[in-house]
Amino acid sequence: MPASFQLRLLFVCLGNICRSPAAEIVCRAALNKAGLAERVMVDSCGTASYHVGSKPDARMLAALQRAGYSYGGHRGRQLRKSDGESFDLIIPQDEENLDDVQRLLRGCKAQIRPMSVWFPQESELREVPDPYYGDSADFDSVVLLLEQSMPQLMAYVNERLSE
Ligand code: 4NP
């Protein structure tokens, strides 16, 4: 990891093929737009091992493409204990992911904050819904929710960078 990164973010979901790789891609685009890509590192992983080494789900990639994003080559990997030391902020996508991360990384250095912290104020959702058993509209909704969360997340990133 280049020493130039001042903040390291890790998005976490269950399989690391739908929500967290989408969050990684949408966040990287937001960081690029904000001129922060050289200062903030982003990655994603899953709590489960089912999809280690896999590309993101084709339905997620299609939804991202519809929204104007391109896939950067991420392959599925599983959360490891050392992530709690090598990242500054770990962002579970749903409440089960949050419980799992808190249990697996108990006492870690990283701060753990659920994605819902940055949802738009008007959202009634408490987590990023799992689209795996859904249809293409569910995948589009995940991308939209992540996009709508980026202004709040970028504001938080800026705060952390100015500490
Ligand atoms: P993700 O979605 O956690 O957003 O990557 C899922 C991926 C795989 C499965 C469930 C959810 N699965 O049951 O294999």
Predicted local distance difference test score (pLDDT) of residue 4? 84
Residue 3: pLDDT band by 50, 70, 90 thresholds? Answer: low
* Pocket-testing residue among 11, 13, 14, ligand 1, by greatest number of atoms within 8 A of Cβ: 14
> Does residue 2 fall inside a structural domain?
no
Output the six-digit token pair for 41: 């590192």
CATH code, domain with 19: 3.40.50.2300
pLDDT digits (tens, 9 = 90+) for 99-153: 999 999 999 999 999 999 999 999 999 999 999 999 999 999 999 999 999 999 9
Angle between helix axes 136-161 and 19-33 (nearest 10 degrees) is 50
> Does residue 123 fall inside a structural domain?
yes
Torsions phi, psi for 89 (to 5 deg): -140, 125
Total structural domains in the chain?
1
Between 1 and 109, residue with greater pLDDT: 109
Provide the edge-to-edge strand list for the sheet that holds 7-13: 40-46, 7-13, 89-92, 111-112
Average of per-residue pLDDT across 68-97: 98
Q: How far is the CA of 39 from the centre of ligand 1 (A)?
A: 30
> Does residue 43 fall inside a structural domain?
yes
> Contact, 120 vs 155, CB < 8 A?
no
> Does residue 27 fall inside a structural domain?
yes
Give the largest Cα separation in the chain, rounded. Answer: 42
Q: What is the pTM of this model?
A: 0.97
* Pocket-testing residue among 11, 12, 18, 26, ligand 1, by greatest number of atoms within 8 A of Cβ: 18
Amino acid letter, residue 51: H
Residue 1 predicted with pLDDT over 50: no
Catalytic residue IDs = 13, 19, 130
* Nearest C-alpha neighbor of 71 from the set 84, 82, 85, 57: 57
> Does residue 32 fall inside a structural domain?
yes
Give the structural domain span for 136: 7-161
Q: What sections of 40-135 are H helices per DSSP?
A: 58-66, 83-86, 95-104
Give the Cα separation of 72 and 60 in Å (integer).
Answer: 13
pLDDT digits (tens, 9 = 90+) for 37-71: 999 999 999 999 999 999 999 999 999 999 999 99
- Angle at the Cα of 20 from the Cα atoms of 37 and 106, rounded to 5 degrees: 95
86 secondary structure, DSSP code: H
Query: 12 burial class (0-12, 13-18, 19+ CB within 10 angstroms)?
Result: buried
Q: Whose CA is nearest to atom 3 of ligand 1?
A: 14
Give the Cα separation of 87 and 10 in Å (integer).
Answer: 7
Pocket of ligand 1 (CB under 6 A): 13-19, 46, 50, 130, 132
Q: How far is the CA of 14 from the centre of ligand 1 (A)?
A: 5
Q: How far is the CA of 48 from the centre of ligand 1 (A)?
A: 9
Q: How far is the CA of 159 from the centre of ligand 1 (A)?
A: 32
> Does residue 1 fall inside a structural domain?
no
